[in-house]
Structure 1
Amino acid sequence: MAICGRCGEEVSDPIKCTACLLSFDYACSGITEAGFRKLGDRQATWRCAGCKTTQKPSLGSQPAAVAAAVDAATTSLTLHDVMSEIHKISAQLAPLSTVVADIQAIKTDIAELKRSNSNTSKKLSQFEDRLKKVEASNDDGALKSRISNLEVELNEKDQWLRYNNVEIKGVPLKNNENPFEILQRIGTKVTYTVPKTSVNYITRVPSRGENASRQKSIIVSFTNRYTKEDFIAACRICKTITLDDIGFQGAGRVYVNDHLTVKNKILLNKTKAVAKEKNFQYVWVKHGKIHVRKTDSSPVLQVRTEEELSRLH
């Protein structure tokens, strides 16, 4: 049992101020029991309200019982108690060595980062100098020509991968639709039956550059190029396919064409514009390649790049 340093009553579960060494009940300590429990390791350094604001209160103003309690607490302080407090303090200070090591490691990393940034800046400066030399060299034209040829080659390979594909545009998207049923309806219109065994896959895909308000195209991948070419030929013979022809409401048209790469789609639009300006009568796509012809007796020209459009006359 202990005597409360404020009210002088006996306390069964006191808390002790580490400054004045007085014991208090929770009512007189200025802290709740729950609050004191939450202090954890800081309980060993807890001070009463009086010690937080002023120095240790004078014993002359305390009751005799309080003075006796203080004397008893002071005289009962042993070497073991002192060593115990020192051990607690040492335990609290132990993590400082790790913190110091971490700070030193951070300083080392920062120094290394500064050196790395310095080296990177030097390399970047050297790279810029070399780039300027390359841009100023006489090989600039050859380099551009080489890059242009590579772009054409890559585009042709990309188009080759789509040789068996057909792109169907103009068909509105419906919930729970069956794309193969749409394909069959088109086949019925153009009198070309398309069995499932001749289709590798069929799906809708958004065209690059389309906004959200436009319909997604239907891409049909046939198992072989000949079936795909026969289907497109039948659609071209039919000339016009409307939404009404395939069971949709509206007078909109449905278009069936080769599945072109994005680059070829852009090139086709530009070719049509130049052909109109130069009075070319025919522009068409066959086997994924763009062709033009000025008159019925003129030679057929293939357009592979935008640069070739300047030669149309």
Structure 2
Amino acid sequence: MSMIQRSPAKSNLHLSNPELASSAEQPNVALRKRKHPDGDLFDAFNSFSAEIRNTLSDWRQDLSSNISNISANITSIRNDLDILTATTSEIKSEINDLRSNQTKLEKRVLTLESSQSAVNNNLTELQTSTQFLASQYDDYAKKVAKLETGHINADKTSDAIVLLESKIDSLEQQARQCNLELGNVPEKRGENLLRLIESLGSLINVQIAQSDVVSVHRVPHAQPDSRRPKNIIVKVSSRILRDNILSAFRLRKGVTANELGLSNHEKDKIYCNEHLTLSSKKLFRECREKTKQYEYKYVWVKHATILVRESDNSPVIAIRSHKDLCKIKPRNK
């Protein structure tokens, strides 16, 4: 059987509401107008809005100015912190050197039975110094962290930096407590500085064995164009030995390069002093100039402290900072 196909019924959806079309075509339908707010109230609202905008703009300008000032202060503090960070890195290097030296001394204890007691004392002293330096470094690291986070008042930042610099200089000086600095020693190619130190000990009647010398080397001058020989820095095993060498050197009242076989001129005098930091050397130089100006008789360094005396019967004056230079006065004043 054949299937009969029927066409679908036409949709009358578009004719479901014929009244809509008729109503849209009616021309007499009235259109309603939107109501506007009262004119005075609208003007007052606009004026109030303008005032608020002006006030907010002024606040933004003040806030921007304050933020700029704060940013400038933070930049200044960060620059100072960079300097402190570099200095603390040097301190950390010195601490590592101390710990390395301590390890070397521990190994020497096993072979030097005759001097075991003295070496043990030196180890105890080095351990105490290392622990003290480590604790001080931790304290300064915490203070630097506070500076970075802004916990310290900006008005006190400069005073804190001066105090930190003073303490850091003190730590650097303490790390050099076993050091000697020899000046005006003629340089020679292929020189053996260790033998030179042994010869110097024989000359001043102080026995200096090779095991007593931790390190010895020359250092460049602060002024690169200086024609003087480079100074020699000697690090010995203990502060007691360092002080004995200094006392014997001063008791002999000078040593010349000719006596060590380094020069044919008897006037080439060699100087032996404590190894001071750069700031202490500068203070010592200024102190010598002022004592010379006011005809003071004595100026010397003992345990990294600068001491002056006007005459044999005058009291000793300690100069620890630039503020103390005012203590050096003309005579009878």
Structure 1 length-normalised TM: 0.54
Residue 289 of structure 1 corresponds to which residue in structure 2? 305
Residue 328 of structure 2 corresponds to which residue in structure 1? 312
8 Å Cα contact 2:178-2:237 kept in structure 1: yes
Which residue type is aligned with residue 211 of structure 1?
Answer: D
Q: Based on CA coordinates, which of the two structures has the bigger radius of gyration?
A: 1
1:203 aligns with 2:203: no
Residue 233 of structure 2 corresponds to which residue in structure 1? 219
The separation in 2 between residues aligned to 1:238 and 1:273, in whole angstroms, is: 25
Tell me, what secondary structure is at the counterpart of 1:254? strand
1:153 aligns with 2:167: yes
1:232 aligns with 2:246: yes
The separation in 2 between residues aligned to 1:182 and 1:284, in whole angstroms, is: 25
The separation in 2 between residues aligned to 1:306 and 1:172, in whole angstroms, is: 33
Matches within 5 A, 1:224-263: 224-249=238-263, 250-251=265-266, 252-263=268-279
8 Å Cα contact 2:308-2:317 kept in structure 1: yes
The structure 2 residue matched to 1:303, chosen from 316, 319, 330, is: 319
The separation in 1 between residues aligned to 2:314 and 2:156, in whole angstroms, is: 33
Change (3 A) 1:129 1:194: closer
The separation in 2 between residues aligned to 1:131 and 1:246, in whole angstroms, is: 55
1:127 aligns with 2:67: no
Q: Give the CA deviation at 1:213.
A: 2.8
Change (3 A) 1:128 1:258: same
Residue 165 of structure 1 corresponds to which residue in structure 2? 179
Tell me, what secondary structure is at the counterpart of 2:207? coil
Which residue type is aligned with residue 286 of structure 2?
Answer: K
Tell me, what secondary structure is at the counterpart of 1:246? coil
Q: Give the CA deviation at 1:311.
A: 2.7
The structure 2 residue matched to 1:185, chosen from 192, 196, 199, is: 199
The separation in 2 between residues aligned to 1:287 and 1:248, in whole angstroms, is: 30
Change (3 A) 1:210 1:261: farther
Change (3 A) 1:214 1:279: closer
8 Å Cα contact 1:268-1:290 kept in structure 2: yes
The separation in 2 between residues aligned to 1:210 and 1:256, in whole angstroms, is: 22
Tell me, what secondary structure is at the counterpart of 2:176? coil
8 Å Cα contact 1:165-1:258 kept in structure 2: yes
Q: Give the CA deviation at 1:144.
A: 4.7
State how many pairs are aligned. 188
The separation in 1 between residues aligned to 2:201 and 2:233, in whole angstroms, is: 15
Which residue type is aligned with residue 229 of structure 1?
Answer: D
List alignment gaps of at least 5 residues for structure 2.
Answer: 1-64, 77-152
RMSD over aligned Cα atoms: 2.8
Residue 288 of structure 2 corresponds to which residue in structure 1? 272
The separation in 1 between residues aligned to 2:163 and 2:75, in whole angstroms, is: 21
- Share of identical aligned residues, percent? 28
Matches within 5 A, 1:72-151: 126-128=70-72, 144-151=158-165
Tell me, what secondary structure is at the counterpart of 1:244? coil
8 Å Cα contact 2:219-2:231 kept in structure 1: yes
8 Å Cα contact 1:152-1:305 kept in structure 2: no
Change (3 A) 1:126 1:160: closer
Q: Give the CA deviation at 1:274.
A: 1.2
Q: Note the alpha carbon deviations across 1:148-199, whole angstroms, 9 max, x for none.
A: 3332222111111000000011112111110011112211221112111111
Change (3 A) 1:281 1:125: same
The separation in 1 between residues aligned to 2:286 and 2:254, in whole angstroms, is: 24
Change (3 A) 1:131 1:223: closer
The separation in 2 between residues aligned to 1:130 and 1:149, in whole angstroms, is: 19
Change (3 A) 1:153 1:125: closer
Q: Give the CA deviation at 1:296.
A: 2.4
Residue 78 of structure 1 corresponds to which residue in structure 2? none
The separation in 2 between residues aligned to 1:243 and 1:204, in whole angstroms, is: 16
